[in-house]
Structure 1
Amino acid sequence: MLFESDRIILRKMTSEDTELYHQWRNDIEVMQSTAPLLDVYNIKETEEFVTHVILGSHFSKSYIIVEKKSKKPIGVTSLINIDYKNRNAECIIDIGDKEAWGKGYGAEAMKLLLDFSFLEMNLHRIFLRVFSFNDRAIKLYEKLGFQQEGKLRETIFRGGQWHDILHMSILENEYAEKRKSQ
């Protein structure tokens, strides 16, 4: 099935997920490696963001990552800024359940999202942004076939120092080659 692997299911995000998403979005440790601004949001701000940006846009598709065995939501992955004409989209992923960190769920979710992007949506290019200090994520993206195509130098200030934002992408043909070799 397109939206499941051996251990996870991707299900469409709904407004009922707002409270859980709000908890993840307000956990500084969860957002440390993915959010440009570390800020605390009130529930109303999160509700508006979910309603208008995540669920209310034709240019985004968001999915809750659910661990099959426990049926527990552990994160979210999305395609955002979808450009249907040029067949491009940006992808994001956050594993909000810290107990699920380091167990390969992010890799499984990204593979499912790439399958959906290229095999169902017929996209040509998927891109992402990652902080230069997020070594685990960079290794994952490279393993999946993403290539670095540029960087924004010294854009994020964390832990008393400046860090780059790396831009990475994978093209449809690169994805197909990588998928054949697995």
Structure 2
Amino acid sequence: MVSKVQLRQEVFKSDACMIADWLKDNEVTQYLNERQNVSRSIEQVIYRVNMPILTHLFNQDGSFFVVTTKEKEPVGFLRLVPKSSGAEMVIVIGDKDKWGKGLGTNAIFEGLKHAFFNWRVDEVVAKIHCKNKRSQRAFKRLGFTEDKELAKEIQYSISMNEFLQLAS
């Protein structure tokens, strides 16, 4: 798969501002499990911390990546959170003009490479809101299978072996 995106680990102040703006948009956040005031929390950090790079603040519970186009334009973010069975992936394409262009699928693929080859996990899961059909399609396209239905979410997973078959 030729990727249309890159995952950048550095989170600059300008990225944090953009992420805060995306997280104020109900269309972007309607299927997320983020706290209601998460954009305000990010804004408070931006004003409180006098540093150009905020990477360390975004990586406290795992690995956080800014999803960028090949032209280095930020379009979303991806987070990998360690779990006992492996890792959980959360992805957001915050730039709504870029929806439906395959960037999310590409970012998921790049995130899987990081989880399996850098973290060396055996499995990656994603908990996707039952009504988030676009996200469900993106994960299924990359070989994730439905594990179980939760209250408002469906858990999908992919193993290292399944990913290697897909990637070869």
Same fold (TM over 0.5): yes
Identity %: 25
Greater strand share, structure number: 1
How many residues are treated as equivalent by the alignment? 158
Distance 1:52 1:115, change over 3 A: closer
* CA RMSD, 1 decimal: 2.4
Task: Supply the AA of the counterpart residue of 1:36.
Answer: N
TM-score (norm 1): 0.77
8 Å CA contact retained: 1:87, 1:122: no
Match of 2:146 in 1: 148
- Match of 1:23, SS? helix
After the TM superposition, which parts of structure 1 deviate over 4 Å for at least 4 consecutive aligned residues? 47-53
Residue of structure 2 in register with 1:165 after alignment: 153
User: How is 1:93-172 mapped onto 2 (pairs within 5 angstroms)?
Assistant: 93-153=91-151, 164-172=152-160
CA contact 2:11–2:55 (8 Å) conserved in 1: no
Query: Following the alignment from structure 1 to structure 2, what is the Cα–Cα distance between the partners of residues 24 and 142?
Result: 25
Q: Which residue does the alignment assign to 2:65? A: 63
| Post-superposition offset of 1:18 | 1.8
Structure with the greater relative contact order (CA < 8 A, sep ≥ 6): 1 or 2? 2
Q: Normalised by the size of structure 2, how large is the TM-score?
A: 0.82
In the TM superposition, what are the counterparts of 1:14-33 in structure 2 within 5 Å? 14-16=11-13, 17-33=15-31
The runs of 5 or more residues in structure 1 that have no matched partner are 154-163
Q: String of CA shifts for 1:147-181, please: whole Å, max 9, x gaps.
A: 1111113xxxxxxxxxx31011111111111212x
Q: Secondary structure at the match of 1:174?
A: helix
